[in-house]
Structure 1
Amino acid sequence: MAVTTMGGDVVDQSDVAARLGDICGSPFVRRAGPDDAVATTAPDWVVAPGTVGAVAEVLRLAADRDLAVVPRGSGSKLDWGAIPSHVDVVLDTGRLSGIWHHPAGSAAARVGAGTTLRAAQQAVGRTGWRMSLDPPSPSATLGGIVAADEAGPLSHQHGSPCRQVIGVDYVDATGELVRAVPDTADGDELPSLLCGSQGALAVLVSATVRLQPAPASRQWVRRGVATPLEAHDLVSELTETGLHPAAIELDLPPGSPAAARTGRTGSLAVLFEGEPVSTRHRTASAVALLSGDASAADQPPTWWQHYPFAAGDIAIRLDVPPAHLYAAIYALRDAFGAPVAVRGCAGTGLVHAALPGSTAPDRVAGILSTVRTVLAARRGTCVVLTAPAEVRRAIDIWGQVPGLTRLRELKQRFDPRHRLAPGRLTGGL
Structure 2
Amino acid sequence: MATAARSTDRSGARGIIRQLTEICGPSFARSAGAADDVAGRLARWVAVPGDSSAAAEVLRLAAANDLTVVPRGAGTKIDWGAAPEQVDIMLDTGRLAGIGHQPAGGPVVEIGAGTPLRAAQAVLARTGQRLALDAPSLGATLGGVLAADESGPLRHRHGGPGEQLVGVRYLNADGELTSAGGGTPGLELARLLCGSQGGLGVLVSATLRVQPVPVSRVWVTRPVGSPAEAYDLVRVVLAAPVDPAAVELDLQARANRTRPPRHPDDPEAVARAQHPSMFRRPLPTASVGALTILLEGDPADVSERADGLLGLLGDEATADRSAPAWWGHYPFSPGETALRIEVPATDLRAGAYALRDVAGSPVPIRGSAGHGVLYAALPGSLPAERVASIVTGVRNTLLARRGRCVVVAAPPSVRQAVDLWGELTSLSQLRAAKDYLDPHQRLAPGRLPGGR
> What is the TM-score normalised by the length of structure 2?
0.91
Note the residue ranges of structure 1 that are not aligned, 5 or more in a row: none
Q: What does 1:8-407 correspond to in 2, within 5 Å? A: 8-11=6-9, 12-186=12-186, 188-255=187-254, 262-407=285-430
Note the residue ranges of structure 2 that are not aligned, 5 or more in a row: 260-283
Query: Would you say the 8 A contact 1:382–1:399 is kept in 2?
Result: yes
Residues in 2 aligned to 1:263 and 1:172: alpha-carbon distance in whole angstroms:
54
Residues in 1 aligned to 2:410 and 2:30: alpha-carbon distance in whole angstroms:
28
Query: Would you say the 8 A contact 1:6–1:66 is kept in 2?
Result: no
- Inter-CA distance 150–259: structure 2 relative to 1 (3 Å threshold): farther
* Offset at residue 301 of structure 1 (A): 0.5
* Offset at residue 259 of structure 1 (A): 9.9
Q: Runs of at least 4 residues of structure 1 off by over 3 A?
A: 5-11, 256-261
Query: Would you say the 8 A contact 1:259–1:265 is kept in 2?
Result: no
| Greater Cα shift, 174-183 or 113-122 | 174-183
Query: Would you say the 8 A contact 1:225–1:265 is kept in 2?
Result: yes
Residues in 2 aligned to 1:209 and 1:404: alpha-carbon distance in whole angstroms:
26
SS where residue 42 of structure 2 aligns?
A: coil
Query: Would you say the 8 A contact 2:189–2:433 is kept in 1?
Result: no
SS where residue 10 of structure 1 aligns?
A: coil
SS where residue 343 of structure 1 aligns?
A: strand
What is the one-letter code of the residue matched to 2:298? E
SS where residue 167 of structure 1 aligns?
A: strand
User: Which string of whole-angstrom CA distances, capped at 9 and with x for unpartnered residues, describes residues 16-58 of structure 1?
Assistant: 0001001001210111122111001011011110111000000
* Offset at residue 426 of structure 1 (A): 2.8
Query: Would you say the 8 A contact 1:401–1:427 is kept in 2?
Result: no
| Greater Cα shift, 14-23 or 100-109 | 100-109
User: Which string of whole-angstrom CA distances, capped at 9 and with x for unpartnered residues, describes residues 194-232 of structure 1?
Assistant: 111111000001000100000000000000011101111
SS where residue 140 of structure 1 aligns?
A: coil
* Offset at residue 9 of structure 1 (A): 4.5
What is the one-letter code of the residue matched to 1:209? L
User: Which string of whole-angstrom CA distances, capped at 9 and with x for unpartnered residues, describes residues 45-104 of structure 1?
Assistant: 111101110000000011111111110110000000001111101111011111023222
What is the one-letter code of the residue matched to 2:409? T
Residues in 1 aligned to 2:449 and 2:343: alpha-carbon distance in whole angstroms:
17
SS where residue 373 of structure 1 aligns?
A: helix
User: Which string of whole-angstrom CA distances, capped at 9 and with x for unpartnered residues, describes residues 338-395 of structure 1?
Assistant: 0000000001110100000000111111101100000111111111111111121121
What is the one-letter code of the residue matched to 1:88? D
User: Which string of whole-angstrom CA distances, capped at 9 and with x for unpartnered residues, describes residues 223-248 of structure 1?
Assistant: 00111011111111111112100000
Aligned to 2:266: none
SS where residue 364 of structure 1 aligns?
A: helix
Residues in 1 aligned to 2:374 and 2:250: alpha-carbon distance in whole angstroms:
9
Backbone CA RMSD of aligned residues:
1.7
- Inter-CA distance 150–321: structure 2 relative to 1 (3 Å threshold): same
- Inter-CA distance 414–259: structure 2 relative to 1 (3 Å threshold): farther
Query: Would you say the 8 A contact 1:6–1:67 is kept in 2?
Result: no
Residues in 1 aligned to 2:358 and 2:424: alpha-carbon distance in whole angstroms:
21
* Offset at residue 263 of structure 1 (A): 4.8
* Offset at residue 256 of structure 1 (A): 5.4
* Offset at residue 10 of structure 1 (A): 3.3
Query: Would you say the 8 A contact 2:256–2:288 is kept in 1?
Result: no
For the pair shown, which has the larger CA radius of gyration, 1 or 2? 2
SS where residue 35 of structure 2 aligns?
A: helix
What is the one-letter code of the residue matched to 1:376? L
* Offset at residue 257 of structure 1 (A): 8.5
| Greater Cα shift, 27-36 or 304-313 | 27-36
SS where residue 254 of structure 2 aligns?
A: coil
| Greater Cα shift, 160-169 or 98-107 | 98-107
* Offset at residue 268 of structure 1 (A): 0.3
* Offset at residue 138 of structure 1 (A): 1.4
SS where residue 291 of structure 2 aligns?
A: strand
Aligned to 2:278: none
Residues in 2 aligned to 1:190 and 1:208: alpha-carbon distance in whole angstroms:
15
* Offset at residue 401 of structure 1 (A): 1.6
What is the one-letter code of the residue matched to 2:232? D
Query: Would you say the 8 A contact 2:182–2:207 is kept in 1?
Result: no
Residues in 2 aligned to 1:36 and 1:180: alpha-carbon distance in whole angstroms:
31
SS where residue 370 of structure 2 aligns?
A: coil
What is the one-letter code of the residue matched to 1:146? L
> What is the TM-score normalised by the length of structure 1?
0.96
